[in-house]
Amino acid sequence: MPSLAELTEAWDDVLGALRGRAKALYKMGRLVEGDERTARFAVPNEPSLKNCSEKLDEVLEALAARFGRPVPLDLVVDGDAATAPRPAPTGATAAAADDEIDDDVDLDELTDAPDPDTGGIAQLKDAFPGAELLEDR
């Protein structure tokens, strides 16, 4: 059984092997201390536990591929999982994380982006040339 340190070090690779919903779900939790036979993954609440359970097979496959053997994983609810510090990223992930953090942004200087002309009503007008837009009364 890999140690918590080994699992944590490999977690970016495991997440990288996941797609779509599974990847999004498993980004919100964290690996926590398990026992000698099972790794443990904590999620912030019961709905997260249910959703992660539905994608557990994909995570188990990614763990087995990364470690070359099955790695049992128990899912647990941990209210502190959402706010707990994540392990520091390593390698290319660390460089990307550094690029994302900018504490010197003055939020009062930001402006709203203009509404896109391609969304909602504009798309309907394009799809039905000559149609008239009637306002709600």
Q: What are phi and psi of 73, to 5 degrees?
A: -135, 120
The pTM of the full predicted model, rounded to 2 decimals, is 0.57
Q: Treating both helix axes as pointing N-terminal to C-terminal, what angle do 46-54 and 20-27 enclose, rounded to 10 degrees?
A: 140
pLDDT in tens, 59-90: 999 999 999 999 999 999 986 544 444 555 55
Domain 4-77 has CATH 3.40.605.10: no
- Summary count for the chain: helices (H), strands (E): 6, 3
Which sequence spans correspond to the domains of the chain? 4-77
pLDDT in tens, 24-40: 999 999 999 988 899 99
Longest C-alpha distance within the chain, in Å?
Answer: 70
Mean of all residue pLDDT scores within the chain: 80
